[in-house]
Amino acid sequence: MRVSLSSLASAVANEGGIGTISSIGLGDPEAMKTEYETMSREALVREIAKARAMTDGHLAVNFMGVLSNVDDLIKTAIREGIKLVVFGAGLPTKLPAVANDSSVNLVPIVSSARVAELILRVWDKHYGRTADGFILEGPLAGGHLGFSKDQLTRPDEFSLDCLLPKLLEVLKGYEDKYGRKIPVIAAGGIFDAQDIARMFRLGASGVQMATRFVCTVECGVSPEFKQAYLDADEEDIVIIDSPVGMPGRAIRNRFLRDLETKEKLPIRCPYRCLTACKAEKARYCIALALLNSYFGDVDHGLIFCGHNAYRIKEIVTVKELITGLLTELAAL
Ligand SMILES: Cc1cc2nc3c(=O)[nH]c(=O)nc-3n(C[C@H](O)[C@H](O)[C@H](O)COP(=O)(O)O)c2cc1C
């Protein structure tokens, strides 16, 4: 939520990457309480326009399938000229119908070859089209994870290095049928040039990185959020049960420690933003918890991060980060 907005996305695009804008909970937090759908739609329009004003490069928008207004947000982004739709946290079985524009690239996020195959089969059968790429997210990623807690205790078995060849194998049949490559972008724990080179060797066409970009000048999260990354030790980075119904990775800060001792935090569901959230049973409101840390109240907020957040030692500009990675990569 909000971690990657116009400032970060445009800076990445200006360095030749694809800058991803989050579509989640962008509106004014108070106004969204009465007009969630309208406010988040208008805020997404504004965020895309702001990014466009700062770059001519490639921009994507990230959508979560569990959002109650996800279809509306996808249509909005496409109306605003976005040509790359990234869809995670849910099965995008109806995405081609919602997007309904063959010039828009549809890129689902998957964590297994099995789910990718299901998507490809449904899209082929019902829409006569295939995916324009996949983001393969491994178990070291930040935020919500497409693995069970049990699978996360066996990271080697489900590592990107194991998952990637299986996914590439599944894609072959569809690449042949549609006469084009379906690129795979590897994500989750990619930290340095060695990691990037390893993914390329295994057949990835690109990598997606999030955690390292949180500690950039251009990332719009509060200084307190970034400081929590700089202060984190490896053992502070934990797996939580998110009200979304998926495990997530976050920093064990005061908010999470309080949850361990308290039964349940009192919730008034302010936004009805998630289809999967059972607000009456949830232990906290994830939207408010993420907003709190975004705005700097990290003691009452959830701080999502990837497994490698503890390795970050300084805040740099996007240009410094990307130039550094490319220089290291060229020297390998
Ligand atoms: C703070 C944070 C917020 C994230 N939010 C989202 C999100 O809203 N939607 C999404 O699909 N992935 C989200 N992710 C996952 C990333 O997009 C990415 O695939 C993954 O974290 C990459 O691994 P890395 O963080 O080790 O680089 C988030 C990750 C982090 C660290």
Q: pLDDT 10s digit of each residue in the chain, 332 long?
A: 789 999 999 999 999 999 999 998 887 777 777 788 888 999 999 999 999 999 999 999 999 998 889 999 999 999 999 999 999 989 999 999 999 999 999 999 999 999 999 999 999 999 999 999 999 999 999 999 999 999 999 888 899 999 999 999 999 999 999 999 999 999 999 999 999 999 999 999 999 999 999 999 999 999 999 999 999 999 999 999 988 888 999 999 999 999 888 776 667 777 677 787 777 778 888 888 999 999 999 999 999 999 999 999 999 999 999 999 999 999 99
Are 212 and 257 members of one domain?
no
Q: Report CA(176)–ligand 1 centroid distance (Å).
A: 31
The confidence score (pLDDT) of residue 192 equals: 98
Q: Please list every protein residue whose CB sits less than 6 Å from any atom of ligand 1.
A: 1, 3, 22, 24, 62, 64, 88, 109, 137, 140-143, 187-190, 208-211, 214, 304-306, 308
CB atoms within 10 A of CB 108: 25
The residue ranges of DSSP E strands in the chain, in sequence order, are: 18-22, 58-64, 84-88, 105-110, 134-137, 143-144, 184-187, 206-208, 237-241, 247-251
Domain that holds residue 11: 6-216+314-331
The confidence score (pLDDT) of residue 209 equals: 98
Entry pTM? 0.95
Are 100 and 150 members of one domain?
yes
Residue 274 Cα to chain centre, angstroms: 16
In CATH, what number is assigned to the domain containing residue 16? 3.20.20.70
Report how many domains make up the chain: 2
Q: What is the DSSP string of 15-62?
A: TTSEEEEE-SS-S-TTGGGT-HHHHHHHHHHHHHHHHHHH-SSEEEEE
CA distance 29 to 33: 7
Are 125 and 70 members of one domain?
yes
CA distance 137 to 224: 27
Question: Could you identify the atom of ligand 1 that is nearest to the CA of residue 89?
Answer: 11
Are 298 and 322 members of one domain?
no
Are 64 and 207 members of one domain?
yes
Q: Is the residue at 241 inside a domain? A: yes
Are 105 and 246 members of one domain?
no
Q: Is the residue at 291 inside a domain? A: yes
Q: Report CA(31)–ligand 1 centroid distance (Å).
A: 26
Q: Report CA(257)–ligand 1 centroid distance (Å).
A: 22
Question: Could you identify the atom of ligand 1 that is nearest to the CA of residue 109?
Answer: 11
Q: Is the residue at 111 inside a domain? A: yes
Q: Report CA(188)–ligand 1 centroid distance (Å).
A: 8
Q: Is the residue at 271 inside a domain? A: yes
Q: Report CA(190)–ligand 1 centroid distance (Å).
A: 11
Are 58 and 197 members of one domain?
yes
Are 206 and 85 members of one domain?
yes
The confidence score (pLDDT) of residue 244 equals: 80
Q: Is the residue at 1 inside a domain? A: no
Residue 287 carries which DSSP code? H
